Amino acid sequence: MNEDELYILSYYRACELAGSVLFGKLAIHTNVDRLRTPLTEHALEEAEHGWLWTEVIEDLGETPLKVERTYQTEYGKEFGLPKNALEILALTQTFEKRTLKHFKRHRDMDNVHPRIREALQEMIDDESGHIGWVKKELDNYEDQEEVDKLMSDLATIDENIYSRLEKSHPAFSMFR
C-alpha cells in the first residue's frame, strides 16, 4: 500500500468514527422518539465501519494515520450541528449519498487491493441500508417543499466540501 492509499483508508476510518460520535450525540439528544433507536443503530454501524477500516489497514501491514479533518468537521464548519429532526435526516441522507458514490468510485478503480475492494463492498451494502431508512423518514415528512429546499441547500454545501476535499490532499487526486 502506498502513502496515498494509506491516507485514504485512514481518512475513511476517521470519518466513520466521527460519524459514530455524531450519530451517538444525535441519538442522545433527539427529542423525536422514533429516531432514537435508528440513530443509535446508525452510530453502532459507523463505529463498526471504523473498526473494519482499522482491520484492513492493519491486515495490509500498516498503522492508521492520524486524520483530523473529516467530512463531518467540514460540514460542521459550513452547516453546524443539526437543530431538528428534519436537519438530522437531510444531513444524514446527504452524507450517505456522498459516501456511497465515493466508495463505488473507489471500488471500481483499477488495481484496488482485494481486501480493500471487499471492505468497500461491505461499506456500500451498509450505506445503502442507511439511505433506505432515512429516505423513508424524509418521504413521510409533512412539508415536502421544506425537505426539497433543505436537500438542495445541503447538496450545494456537499459539492463545495467535496471539491475542497479533493484539493486538500494529494491522495484524493486518484479520484479525479
Looking at every residue in the chain, the average pLDDT score rounds to 90
Q: Which three cell numbers stand for residue 172?
A: 484524493
pLDDT tens for each residue of 81-128: 888 889 988 998 998 888 888 899 999 999 999 999 999 999 998 877
Residue position matching grid coordinates 451494502: 125
Average of pLDDT values for 128-144? 86
Question: Is the pTM above the cut of 0.85?
Answer: yes
Task: Quote the longest CA-to-CA distance of the chain.
Answer: 51
Rounded to whole angstroms, the Cα distance separating 123 from 129 reads: 10
Q: What is the pLDDT of residue 73?
A: 87
| Position 53 confidence tier, pLDDT thresholds 50, 70, 90 | very high
Instruction: Give the chain's domains with CATH numbers.
Output: 3-175 (1.20.1260.10)
Average of pLDDT values for 45-66? 97
Q: What is the pLDDT of residue 176?
A: 61
Q: How far is CA 2 from the centre of its chain?
A: 23
Dihedral sign from CA coordinates of 129, 133, 134, 135: positive
Q: What is the pLDDT of residue 81?
A: 81
Say if CB 3 and CB 62 are below 8 A apart. no
Rounded to whole angstroms, the Cα distance separating 88 from 138 reads: 10
In terms of Cα–Cα distance, which of 53, 13, 1, 52 is closest to 174?
A: 1
Q: How far is CA 88 from the centre of its chain?
A: 13
pLDDT tens for each residue of 3-16: 989 999 999 999 99
More confident residue, 169 or 44: 44
Query: CB count, 10 Å around CB of 149?
Result: 12
